[in-house]
Structure 1
């Protein structure tokens, strides 16, 4: 089983883990009918490895598997609090780009579905002086504060150069230049996810003060 991929808004790549791909254990000391690890034990090991990865890299999860494995895993997993979707089918040998196409709609729908929760939290945190709005402030806070939730208007993108110290951004229109990040919002999302925050895509015009992005922070 190989669920070890991370998806960052359009880009799917190998997850930073040594646990996957994972295979059922075999025992040469058993009879032929008993050599392969029972399915439940194997799926339990998969779930434990998934939980360990999510504790370090919290993120929405899309489960891809053939039946009946998919249903069994969904029923027994203890680590699907951020389940974004499920895809039925045997995709062990499916090219990465095709898997990306299967996963992306589920991730985007999941992020968009959290709009109401995100905006309520943002309003509350603004009143508690635990939120910032605007890309420059959000970028800096995502690096030096304890990010809790990032809200991004779903049509917002921003080509930019990142300063040598990593703390500031300069807008860029020469997007083909190798020093330019063609959309620094993807970098921002990856940064806050890596630090344990969750992300919501929200409709344009919903973030206060005419800004396009906001970040809430945890208590120190």
Structure 2
């Protein structure tokens, strides 16, 4: 991720340097609004496209920390048991559990996790995260990707930053509940992965969320 952060500012500078407009009032050259948007979009695209690399990095970190990898039929059985326990723990909390192959996705709606435009986890949501941590501690061969998402209201840059801060807040809380840092990765997707229509109030509510993707450590 450090290399990515070094590359992005350089790429942004190159884009901005090549796309300026002449201010008709001052006679000075300035970066066009369209170019600024393109630069933010390019940075967001780089983050989204880096998911596989990030997951590989987390896998290497876990193996380096001495966590054993799963293989063969053991993977499915391991995730079956983890899914069952999470469904039991999270029933009635508003958090959904979705199985995608051997991955589990926990969808935590923003309206029950955070106040509007804030990144601090609501105290009333601690119990839910405690339940997640309780299961996660028992299944320590699972990596946890914490992804923040927003609706499309406001600037892309603001939403990218807000989604990252929210993901970081959830990860810090889980770490405080005994989940090893090497198992955790955070990423902010901003408004770029909507699950509903942003033109409706209900759709925007659904898009404001944090998702935990639980990924088994495999060979």
TM-score, reference length from structure 1: 0.29
Higher helix share: 2
TM-score, reference length from structure 2: 0.29
